[in-house]
């Protein structure tokens, strides 16, 4: 069978959510070989219609029958749903690409960013793993940039501050900002505090060490994806009132000396990266310019003024796409290409 003849049955769990809808959009935009789409969501969404390539598909509730015959199942319905249904879908023959936090740090489940560690998608005999985890959005865009730097110079330590879109909390996060901007009273703040005209230095709950769960995801996931426990990550994650993408300020200490021009050329030639770095023209990445794009945008690349073996840079990526939906579809593309 040629690649043009390949037709796969693809399920999307969480098909009516913000990321699930984006997954379906990305499948269509990237011309993924979907022979049949199976949109799946909770009981309150069952029966709704999802358009795809000019056809309407009816949303189903999750069940073993719904996953029967599915080749690839993209999950984005939260960790609880993933723990309940991933093994069921896998038992029915589907390869599950899960966007939740349920399996990311399980030692026997790969955590994959295709630009960084695509080989982890497959077992030693070349067959795809039954469950593959999608990393956290803020981790994904960072490791896309760290990978070429680590291969060339060695990454020793990263200090990262994030500026994360309200859409990182899904439709509820977006709706909260819009209702606050409209002056509507809030019974409870979705982002812990008012997000309109504000910046909230808390994403997810705090842990005993003073870091939030979101921050610890960046610490632990980076080590697993890069397959290097020696990389230190010191994060502060912040929610800001924007759509379109997450921004990150990176301070990267390298093991070897570097030339700035060489670093910029290296990054510009690396997969999944677009350089926007011309301060004289006020060209640098912003959430607005990353919106609806699949790449990680890099700019403000410069040597740390006081630490000559350290880089500063600013990166932005659309958190719904590269930070979630697109990364999952790219994993599916690697699997489809192998077939």
**Per-residue pLDDT band at 78 (split at 50, 70, 90):** very high
To the query of whether residue 191 is one of the catalytic residues in this protein, the response is no
Instruction: Check residue 5 and give its pLDDT.
Output: 79
Give me the count of residues in the chain. 339
Q: Take residue 225 and report the two structure tokens written for it.
A: 């994806």
Show me where the domains of the chain are located. Answer: 8-134+324-338, 138-319
CA distance 180 to 189: 9
**Per-residue pLDDT band at 4 (split at 50, 70, 90):** low
State the SS3 of the chain.
CCCCCCCEEEEEECCCCHHHHHHHHHHHHCCCCEEEEEEECCCCCCCCEEEECCEEEECECCCHHHHCCCCEEEECCCHHHHHHHHHHHHHCCCEEEECCCCCCCCCCCCECCCCCCHHHHECCCCCECCEEECCCHHHHHHHHHHHHHHHHCCEEEEEEEEEECHHHHHHHHHHHHHHHHCCCCCCCCCCCCCCCCCCECCCCCECCCCCEHHHHHHHHHHHHHHCCCCCEEEEEEEECCCCCCEEEEEEEEECCCCCHHHHHHHHHCCCCEEECCEHHHCECCCHHHHCCCCCEEEEEEEECCCCCCEEEEEEEECCCHHHHHHHHHHHHHHHHHHC
CA distance 203 to 132: 24
Q: 236, 260, 256: which is closest to 248 by C-alpha?
A: 236
Average pLDDT over residues 103-131: 97
Contacts of 167 (CB under 8 A, 6+ apart): 18, 173, 174, 243, 244, 319, 320
**Per-residue pLDDT band at 2 (split at 50, 70, 90):** very low
Choose, from 137, 191, 193, 307, the residue flagged as catalytic. 137
Average pLDDT over residues 180-188: 96
Q: 77, 123, 117: which is closest to 101 by C-alpha?
A: 77
Instruction: Check residue 238 and give its pLDDT.
Output: 98
* Cα 75 from chain centroid (whole Å): 13
Instruction: Check residue 326 and give its pLDDT.
Output: 98
Per-residue pLDDT for 211 more than 80? Answer: yes
To the query of whether residue 246 is one of the catalytic residues in this protein, the response is yes
Sheet holding 246-254, edge to edge: 232-239, 155-164, 246-254, 310-317, 296-303, 273-275
**Per-residue pLDDT band at 339 (split at 50, 70, 90):** confident
Q: Take residue 260 and report the two structure tokens written for it.
A: 């700035």
Average pLDDT over residues 104-114: 98
Instruction: Check residue 46 and give its pLDDT.
Output: 95
Average pLDDT over residues 289-295: 96
Per-residue pLDDT for 3 more than 70? Answer: no
Contact 297, 290 (CB under 8 A): yes
CATH topology of domain 8-134+324-338: Rossmann fold (3.40.50)
Choose, from 150, 191, 193, 246, the residue flagged as catalytic. 246
User: Over the stretch 316-338, which tens digit does the pLDDT of each residue have?
Assistant: 999 999 999 999 999 999 999 99
Average pLDDT over residues 216-229: 98
Q: Take residue 312 and report the two structure tokens written for it.
A: 């500063």
* Residue whose pair of structure tokens reads 């929610």 in the numeric block: 239
User: Over the stretch 235-280, which tens digit does the pLDDT of each residue have?
Assistant: 999 999 999 899 999 999 999 999 999 999 999 999 999 999 999 9
Instruction: Check residue 244 and give its pLDDT.
Output: 85
User: Is residue 119 packed enough to be buried (19+ CB in 10 Å), middle (13-18) or exposed (0-12)?
Assistant: exposed
Instruction: Check residue 168 and give its pLDDT.
Output: 96
Query: How much of the chain exceeds pLDDT 90, in percent?
Result: 97
Contacts of 315 (CB under 8 A, 6+ apart): 141, 142, 145, 247, 248, 250, 285, 296, 297, 298, 299
CATH topology of domain 138-319: Dihydrodipicolinate Reductase; domain 2 (3.30.360)
Query: How much of the chain exceeds pLDDT 70, in percent?
Result: 99
Per-residue pLDDT for 58 more than 50? Answer: yes
pTM value is 0.96
* Residue whose pair of structure tokens reads 């060489």 in the numeric block: 262
Neighbours of 7 (CB within 10 A): 12
**Per-residue pLDDT band at 119 (split at 50, 70, 90):** very high
Contacts of 241 (CB under 8 A, 6+ apart): 166, 177, 195, 196, 197, 198, 199
């Amino acid at each position: 069978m040629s690649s043009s003849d390949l037709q796969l049955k693809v399920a999307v769990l969480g098909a009516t959510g913000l990321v699930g809808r984006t997954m379906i959009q990305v499948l269509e935009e990237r011309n993924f070989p979907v022979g049949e789409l199976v949109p799946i969501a909770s009981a309150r969404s069952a029966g709704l219609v999802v358009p795809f390539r000019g056809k309407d598909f009816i949303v189903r509730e999750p069940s073993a029958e719904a996953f029967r015959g599915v080749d690839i199942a993209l999950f984005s319905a939260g960790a609880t749903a993933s723990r309940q249904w991933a093994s069921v879908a896998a038992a029915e023959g589907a390869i599950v690409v899960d966007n939740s936090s349920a399996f990311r740090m399980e030692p026997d489940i790969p955590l994959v960013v295709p630009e960084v560690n695509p080989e982890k998608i497959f077992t030693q005999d070349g067959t795809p793993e039954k469950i593959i985890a999608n990393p956290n959005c803020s981790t994904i865009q960072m490791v896309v940039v760290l990978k070429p730097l680590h291969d060339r110079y060695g990454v020793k330590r990263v200090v990262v501050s994030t500026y994360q879109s309200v859409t990182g909390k899904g439709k509820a996060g977006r709706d909260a900002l819009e209702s606050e901007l409209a002056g509507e009273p809030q019974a409870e703040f979705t982002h812990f505090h008012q997000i309109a005209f504000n910046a909230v230095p808390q994403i997810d709950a705090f842990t005993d060490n003073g870091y939030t769960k979101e921050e610890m995801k960046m610490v632990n996931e980076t080590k697993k994806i890069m397959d290097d426990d020696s990389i230190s990550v010191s994060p502060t994650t912040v929610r800001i009132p924007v759509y379109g993408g997450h921004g990150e300020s990176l301070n990267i200490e390298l093991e070897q000396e570097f030339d700035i021009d060489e670093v910029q050329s290296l990054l510009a030639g690396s997969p999944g990266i677009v350089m926007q770095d011309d301060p004289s023209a006020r060209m640098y990445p912003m959430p607005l310019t990353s919106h609806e794009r699949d790449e990680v945008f890099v700019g403000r690349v410069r040597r740390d003024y006081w630490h000559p073996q350290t880089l500063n840079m600013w990166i932005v990526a659309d958190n719904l796409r590269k930070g979630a939906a697109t990364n999952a579809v790219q994993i599916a593309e690697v699997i489809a290409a192998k077939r």
